[in-house]
Amino acid sequence: MEQLILLLPALPILAALTNQLFAKKLGRSVAKVSVRTGLISFIIASILLGDQLAESHTTGIGLGNGFGILLADPLSCLMAVLITGISLIVRIYSVKYMAEEEGYGRFFILLDLMVAALLLMGSAGDLLTMLVAWHLVGVVLYFLLGFNLRSATASRHAFWTLITYRIGDLAMMLAAAILYHTFGTWSLPEIFTAIRSAPGAHTYGGFTVEEITGSLVAVAAFARSAQFLLHAWLPYTMGGPTPVSALMHVGIVNAGGFVINRFAPIFAQTETVLHVIFFVGLITAIIGSVLMLTQNDIKKALGYSTMGQMGFMVMECGVGAFSLAIYHLIAHGFFKGTLFLSAGSAMSKARKHDGVPKKDLYTFAVERKTATKRQPWVTMALITIAVPITIIFIAHWLVAKDFYQKQGAIILLFFGWVTGAQLLFTTYRMKAQNFPRMIGTILVSFTVLIIGYTVISHAFDLFLYPDEEFRKQIYKTATIEVIWFDLLLILTTLVIVAGWILTYYSEQNRLREKERFNNLWLSFYALVSREFYLMDIYSWMARSLLQLAARINVLLRWR
């Protein structure tokens, strides 16, 4: 199996070199070389994952003394299957999609180099290899996003991405330097073993090494996964080639969840870092979801949707559900990659016919017509509150009876309850000829979804972290004081219930409330449509820096 680990990043590098050296001779056949290499890589990754499923273990091979180490463990094998699987689909899709574009061979060369860098990052077993791969992903992505050399907009947005990624690269480099200076080795397994044997033994400036490096790795994850204030690059890179937008979901934009899991032994020994991660993820999830609703460009809307999902993924890490974040990462990668690849055909069909049946859902969502006769409001309120939380708690109790002893689990259950309640509340506002059947269908679907999610996430937990004590340590680290935890849940519940009451009240007094809230709603919409004016602020900062540089040049008489 050790040789197969080496083959994973070596094969796409070999394909890129072959296409570069024999580009003129191969012509359009460069795509065949890339696709066939991708298929072989996917088979190898599947074999490695099958070996891990049979018996979870960690094996590795090193090229030098403590560096150049490639690991085959549950996390790296899962990432390898995701990367090779989606990249294979992207390659096949690109054969015809990029046929009319200039630089056909260049595109597949860059595609193979990106896959190689991602596989190297996923299997890196030492800090040097991780740094090299982490940096290469950003560099190759810059060239892929700026693939259209005639587009000034594409070049500018690719440069934004490169600059944002450099912030994460700098944080990762500082973390690696501190870890090497402290433990005297580049090897990640050796560093993690030393941390587990003596947590908190090394300090700098009154802070433990785990706290410092955990914070730096978190910043690197924020930059790579488009968390709030470092998110501006993501929605604006959707103007690049569609295959690149799809490829970004195989370990590029969702690399934050991976790197937090890779450094899990460090985060398990921190004090406040996971709380900060949760807060940043929560803010990102809310803002990304809100901004998605105001976009009139389908790919930009998908970009903000990805930002919101990456916020949820980081938030899951913040509550200690590390393995759930990996499940989220994989599921979202396949789902959003498919959406990007089908976006073009969806728009083409929509121009001819929207294909939306004029039924209950269309009438409610598009024509904004509500039911003339509704179910009793009190009945629906009770169903909205009681049914989702009952289903969620029973599902988790069947899988793990001690699940409710973890605060992180309670928070995830809480958000699941909010989602289910929102779904049922939406159906209350819809017009349906057979209301009981609609409610029954929703409840059955919701039950199947929750049970499936519960079983799969629990299986991921056992597969990625078989050590029960380590799993408990992660959840313990994510725990906050009970009083603050209770206040957080109570406050959030009051906000949600107030929103339901306000919505109901405004509907019952529609004409009177319309004028009162109209101006407030327009102001909020203007704020959201301008993306909270963050891009204006960033543009002003860029202009100010350029003006300052020009004045310094004049003052010092530089030429």
- Band (pLDDT 50/70/90 cuts) for residue 354 is low
The full DSSP string for 13-80 is HHHHHHHHHTHHHHGGGHHHHHHHHHHHHHHHHHHHHHHHHHS---EEEESSSSSSEEEESHHHHHHH
Q: Kindly state whether residues 422 and 491 are assigned to the same domain.
A: yes
Domain of 241 in residue numbering reads as 126-352
Percent of the chain with pLDDT over 90: 36
Query: CA distances (Å), 280 to each of 45, 135, 474, 493, 547, in order?
Result: 33, 23, 18, 20, 32
Residue with tokens 């009945």: 379
Contacts 24+ apart (CB under 8 A), 47-55: 47/4, 48/1, 48/4, 48/5, 48/8, 48/72, 48/77, 48/80, 49/77, 49/78, 49/80, 49/81, 51/1, 51/77, 52/77, 52/463, 53/463
- What's the pLDDT score for residue 79? 94
pLDDT at 365: 45
Confidence class for position 89, pLDDT limits 50, 70, 90: very high
Lowest mean pLDDT among 152-166, 182-196, 426-440: 426-440
Q: Which of 404, 384, 383, 547 has its CA nearest to residue 489?
A: 404
Indicate if 189 and 209 belong to the same structural domain: yes
User: CA-CA distance, 1 to 144, in Å (whole number)?
Assistant: 32
State the average pLDDT over residues 41-59.
91
203 in helix, strand or coil? strand
In this structure, are residues 338 and 306 in contact, taking their beta carbons and an 8 Å threshold?
no
The amino acid at 77 = C
Judgement on whether residues 306 and 447 belong to the same structural domain of the protein = no
**Do 456 and 504 lie in a common domain?**
yes
Do 56 and 37 lie in one domain? The reply is: yes
Could you tell me which residues come within 8 angstroms of residue 251 by beta carbon, excluding any fewer than 6 positions away?
A: 79, 82, 83, 118, 121, 122, 137, 258, 333
Q: With bands split at pLDDT 50, 70 and 90, how would you rate the model's confidence at 99?
A: confident
Q: What is the mean pLDDT of residues 143-148?
A: 90
pLDDT surpasses 60 at 508: no
**pLDDT interval class at 528 (50, 70, 90):** confident
pLDDT, greater one: 500 or 483: 483
Choosing from 71, 91, 123, the residue where a domain stops is: 123
Write the CA distances from 55 to 58, 73, 419, integer angstroms. Answer: 10, 10, 36
* pLDDT band at 412; cut points 50, 70, 90: low
352, 370, 392 - which closes a domain = 352
Q: What is the pLDDT of residues 289-337, one digit of tens each?
A: 888 877 777 778 888 888 988 998 998 899 888 988 898 899 888 888 8
Residue 368 has pLDDT above 50, yes or no: no
And the tokens for 541? 């900062």
Question: Six-digit token pair at 102?
Answer: 């200039």
Q: Which of 216-230, 297-311, 358-372 bottoms out in mean pLDDT, i.e. has the lowest? A: 358-372
Each residue's pLDDT tens digit, 190-205: 999 999 999 988 988 8
377, 381, 384, 389: CA torsion to nearest 10: -160
Say yes or no: 348 and 360 in one domain.
no
Tokens representing residue 337 in the block: 């990659």
Q: How confident is the model at residue 514 (pLDDT cuts 50, 70, 90)?
A: low
Which DSSP string do the residues of 488-504 spell out, in sequence order?
HHHHHHHHHHHHHHHHH
Query: Which is nearest to 247 in space by CA: 162, 334, 160, 122?
Result: 334
The count of structural domains within the chain is 4
Q: Are residues 434 and 537 in the same domain?
A: no
Are the beta carbons of 23 and 37 closer than 8 angstroms?
Answer: no
How sure is the predictor about 515, in pLDDT bands with cuts at 50, 70 and 90?
low
- Which residue, among 121, 120, 116, 95, has the nearest Cα to 107 in the 3D structure? 95
Q: Which residue type is seen at 74? A: P
The average confidence (pLDDT) of the chain is 82
Is the pLDDT at 507 greater than 60, yes or no? Answer: no
Q: What is the maximal distance between C-alpha atoms in the chain?
A: 79
Which has more confidence, 120 or 291? 120
Same-domain check for residues 98 and 161? no
**173, 119: one domain:** no
**Position 513 in a domain:** no
Confidence label for 513 from pLDDT (cuts 50, 70 and 90): low
Q: Can you tell me the distance from the alpha carbon of 95 to that of 60, in angstroms, rounded to the nearest whole number?
A: 35
Residues 305 and 316 in one domain: yes
Instruction: Summarize the confidence of residues 443-464 as an average pLDDT.
Output: 77
Does the residue 514 lie in any domain? no
Quote the CA–CA distance of 407 and 417 in Å, as a whole number: 15
Other Cβ atoms less than 10 A from the Cβ of 49: the count is 19
Residue 133 lies in a domain: yes
Owner of token pair 């032994």 = 265
Rounded CA separation 184/176 (Å) = 11
Within 10 angstroms of residue 229's Cβ, the number of other Cβ atoms is 13
Residues 316, 285: one domain?
Answer: yes
Helix (H) or strand (E) holding 208: strand 207-208
Q: Please enumerate in sequence order all residues whose Cβ is within 8 A of that of 366, keeping only pairs 6 or more positions apart, or say none.
A: 356
In sequence order, what are the beta bridge partners of 60? 71
SS (H, E, C) 416-484: HHHHHHHHHHHHHHCCCCCHHHHHHHHHHHHHHHHHHHHHHHHHHHHHHCCCHHHHHHHHHHCCCCHHH
Residues 232 and 369 in one domain: no
Is 76 inside a domain boundary? yes
Q: How far apart are CA 75 and CA 323, in angstroms?
A: 9
What is the average per-residue pLDDT within 20-47?
Answer: 92
Of 65, 88, 123, the position where a domain reaches its end is 123
- How far apart CA 300 and CA 239 sit, in angstroms, is 8
The reported pLDDT for the residue numbered 288 is 87
